[in-house]
Amino acid sequence: MEELDELPASSEALQGEIRSWLAKSRTSAAKVKQVLGLLDPVRLGNGAEKYERPEWRKDGPPSMYRAHWRHQACQILGTQESAIPENVTVALKAYLWPTALDTKRADHTAWIIKVPKFVSRVLHDAAAANKQMPSMEDDMDVDMDAEEPVGTVRIFVDPFQADKTKAMTQGVMELTGKEAASVPKKYILANQATDMPMHVFSDVREGLKLGGHQDITLEARIDLKLDMRPSSIDDVDYNRVSKERMEQAQTKTRVTQSSSEMRFAPLPKRANLVRFTADAVGAKTEKKERMEKKALENLLFGLFEKQPYWSMKQLLLESKQPADWLKTNLSEIAILTRRGPNMGLWGLKPEWKQAGAPEQMS
């Protein structure tokens, strides 16, 4: 009989049961090859349209794959599904279809526990140590099948609840492994109520080699959501771990390095920024020199003869004097108008208007 290629490596047991069944019924080699070929999910999916089996979808549950296989195999052999032997049916249920969601462990329950980082490191170190133990089997006269326990867990339930509704009211965990020497030993497992259903999935099927297929397995349903907390904040180990975490958080992880090839320019001062901005727009900053007091007064009287009212901006442009120096001398001979049509303008004081401007000094 011609052997089939590219069938999943996990189907040997099922192939054997199918061959034994079809050999007893004296089925032709061609039909045997067709029936065995249906163990490949790609071929099974192609046949789903040919034999008009409803509800086919890629990555469906194993029950869908089994139903399609039974239907298509019976169509090829021209028989009823009731004619399939029990041993073939049992082997078919044990067969894990590539790319199908394995739900055999759907009734299992699991806990999800939020643990501190330092406890997570202890658990990872213990797991790594257990993996290394078989390599030392020749040098150690110990039972290598028994892994060293990391700790113990005690749970408390309400005894007055029915068996099916018992729920853990509190849990206590104590770390006993050698990896836990530097962390707190006793913890409280506080139950965190949640109404959201949660499940555990994995992409590895234990003990199987599926020829490169990536498989998803439903491992368990989350039964309890727990929060792991140290039993006492006065614990010596907990205080030490907390202190170490604070010191690590305050430690600078970024280091600035400099060398002789690197050059750093200081940040410009605000005055320089203002000057650079003024130069960029073409403004000229020239230092203004003060005029003599009498010369400035003569200049101001001459301006007021031309027009009776001036703004401070106009006087600064005309006199080209520092603002403080101009205002000091201007306030002696002029007054700022507060009301009327000339509001905000400077005009001579009444006594200078009546007496007239003094003779200009040469």
Residues 285-295 pLDDT 10s: 556 788 888 88
Return the domain boundaries, the chain.
Answer: 11-94, 109-131+149-239, 293-355
Residue 102 DSSP class: B
**Residue 109, strand partner residues:** 221
Residues 80-113 pLDDT 10s: 888 999 999 999 988 877 767 667 777 888 888 8
Q: Residue 219: how many CB atoms within 10 A of its CB?
A: 15
Of 145, 147, 233, 218, which is closest to residue 187 (Cα–Cα)?
Answer: 233
State the alpha helices, DSSP H only, in the chain: 12-24, 29-37, 41-50, 62-77, 86-94, 117-132, 236-250, 270-280, 293-306, 312-319, 323-333, 350-355
Least confident of 36-40, 136-140, 236-240: 136-140
Residues 300-324 pLDDT 10s: 888 888 888 999 999 998 888 998 8
Q: What is the per-residue pLDDT for 204?
A: 63
Using a CB cutoff of 8 Å and minimum separation of 24, what contacts does 35-39 make?
A: 35/73, 35/76, 35/77, 36/4, 36/7, 37/4, 37/7, 38/68, 38/69, 38/72, 38/73, 39/7, 39/8, 39/11, 39/14, 39/15, 39/69, 39/95
Mean pLDDT of 144-171: 70
Residue 137 confidence class, pLDDT cut points 50, 70, 90: very low
Is the pLDDT at 255 greater than 60? The verdict is yes
Any residues with CB less than 8 A from the CB of 18 and at least 6 apart, and which? Answer: 32, 35, 36, 88, 91
Mean pLDDT of 108-124: 85
**Per the structure block, which two tokens stand in for 123?**
């658990």
- Identify the three-state secondary structure at position 246: helix
**Per the structure block, which two tokens stand in for 354?**
């009546």
Give the integer Cα–Cα distance in Å for 152 and 137: 26
**Per the structure block, which two tokens stand in for 49?**
């349209």
Residues 45-74 pLDDT 10s: 888 877 766 677 776 778 888 888 898 899
Residues 170-187 pLDDT 10s: 788 888 877 777 788 888
Any residues with CB less than 8 A from the CB of 360 and at least 6 apart, and which? Answer: 298, 301, 302
Give the integer Cα–Cα distance in Å for 96 and 250: 52
Of 318, 88, 111, which is closest to residue 198 (Cα–Cα)?
Answer: 111
Residue 338 confidence class, pLDDT cut points 50, 70, 90: confident
Pair 36, 56: CB distance under 8 Å:
no
Judging by DSSP bridges, how do beta strands 109-114 and 217-230 pair with one another?
parallel
* Dihedral sign, Cα of residue 114, residue 117, residue 118, residue 121: positive
Mean pLDDT of 349-362: 62
- CATH 2.40.50.40, applies to 293-355: no
Count how many Cα atoms sit within 13 Å of the Cα of residue 70 in the half-sphere of its side chain: 19
Least confident of 33-42, 270-279, 347-356: 270-279
Residues 196-246 pLDDT 10s: 888 888 776 555 444 444 456 788 888 888 888 888 888 888 888 888 888
Any residues with CB less than 8 A from the CB of 58 and at least 6 apart, and which? Answer: 45, 99
Is the pLDDT at 361 greater than 50? The verdict is no
More reliable by pLDDT, 149 or 309: 309
Pair 62, 102: CB distance under 8 Å:
yes
